[in-house]
Structure 1
C-alpha cells in the first residue's frame, strides 16, 4: 500500500473493510474532476477485489470547498458513471457486469454535513417511497472532519497529519495550527519514508494556500522549530521542485494551447475559402475539439473535400 493510500483506511467503515481485499488494492491514474472544479475537489480511484472475488472500485472525493455542498450527490453520480464507462471502454469484450463503486467523501466545510443527507433521495420531493424503482438512491461514506476535535482524529501519524491539514487549511488561525501539525511529523521524519511524506505535505500546501496566507520562508521557519533545522532546508528544496514542475507544466499547456489555436485558425481559413456558407456551423463544432489529431485530420480533409458533408462527418 502506497504512502498516499495508508491514511484512507482509518476512515472507511468496518462494514466496507470486511468486503474488500486490501492486498489487491491498486491505485488508478485516472481522475474524473473537470478542470474548472480542480480548485474545489481532488480525487483518488482505487481498484480492489471484493471478498467474493469480483472487481470493485473505491472512489475518494476530497471536498476542498469551505461550504456545505448539498448537491454533491450529483457530482458523485457523474463520476461513478464515468468510472463505469471507462471500465467498459477498457474491456475489448463487453463485460457481463459492472463493478461496484464505493464513494467516499472527505470534507472540511465550515458547516457540519447533515448525516441524513448522504443518500440521493434526500434531495427529492414527492412520493419517493412509492417510486423507489425509478430513483438511483445510492449513498456515500462520509468523513466530515469538523465533526471531530483534533484529538478525536485517530489513525497513523501520517493519516492524522493529512486529515488535520485538510481540516484546518481554511481556518483564519492556520498559521498557529501548522506548528502542531508539523510536530506530529517528528517521528515520521526519522523513518525511511519521511521525505516522501514531507513532499506530500508540501505539495498540498502549495496547491491549497492562498499567496497572502503564509510565505515559504515562514513555513520553513515553522518546520525548523517544530521538527528540525534540516527539515526546514528540505521544505525549501521541495518547494522549488514543485514550483519548477508548475512552470514546466505551464509551458507544456501553453504550447498545446498554441497548437490547438493554430489548427483551428487554419481550419477556419480553409472553410472560408472552400465552403463559406457553412463556416458558422463548422466552427461551432470545431471550437469544441481539444484533440490535436482530430483537428489535423479535419484540416487535411478540407484540402481534398468536394462537399461539406465530408467535413461534417468528422465532427460527429
Structure 2
C-alpha cells in the first residue's frame, strides 16, 4: 500500500509565521523593523506584492517557512525581499548557502519574464532553542577556507576567450590544441586558412576516440566545410585518410538527399557523378546535420 502524501504544514511555526507574513501590512512592519537601513532605503515598501515561492524544494519545509515578496526599489527597479524562518532546535551551519540558492532561484524566475537581474535580499527569522544564533550569516563562511572562497566568488570568473587567442599560441595548448583550433574556426567560411595548424594539431593526437569526436564535430558543427577541404585534409593525414574520405562521402550524400535532381549553382560539394567543387564558400540551404548520418559527438564511430 502506498503511503498517503502528507500535505499538512510540517510544524505550527510554519503556519503561524506564514499566516502573518503573507499579510502586506505585517510584512511591511517586519521589513521596516528588521531590514538594515541601507537596504530599507532602497525599497519602496508601498509596492509590496506577495509572490509564489514554487521554486523552494520540498525538504526546505522540514525546517523553514518561506515568504517571497516583490517590491519596487526607490529608483523604480524591480527587486525581491526573500524571508526565511529557522525553527529547529539544531541550528544549520549552511543556512546562508541555502538562502543564497533560493535567492538565485528567485532571480532566475524573474529573468524568465524580464531582461534585467533583480536584487534579492534574504532575511532569516530565527527562534530556535539555542541563543544567540551560533553561526555566521555570511555564506562564504560555510567554506573550510573562507578567504579563498572570497577570492573566487567576489571577483570576475576566469574567461577563456579563444576568439582573441593567436593560432600559434593555440598550438602550444597541448592536448587541447586541436579542439580549441576547430572551435575557434568552425564558423569560418574558408577552412583552408587554418589547415596547416589543424594538421599539426591532429598529428599529435593518438587517441582514436578523440579523433572520432573531432571529425564528427567538423562535419556536424560547420556549415562551410567542403569536400575539397576534406580531400586536402586526407592527403595531409594519411593515417586518417579512410575516416576522412568517409566523412567526405557523407558530405556528398547530404547534398544528394537535399537536391536529388542535382546540386544548385554554387553548391560546393561534388555530386555522385562529379568531383569536388573548387569553391570553398558556404553551402546554401545546407541540410540539418543528421539527415545522412548520426550527429552524436561521442566516441561511437559515426563517420
Q: What TM-score do the two structures reach when normalised by structure 1? A: 0.38
Q: Which has the larger radius of gyration?
A: 2
Q: What TM-score do the two structures reach when normalised by structure 2? A: 0.39
Task: Considering fraction of residues, name the structure with more helix.
Answer: 1
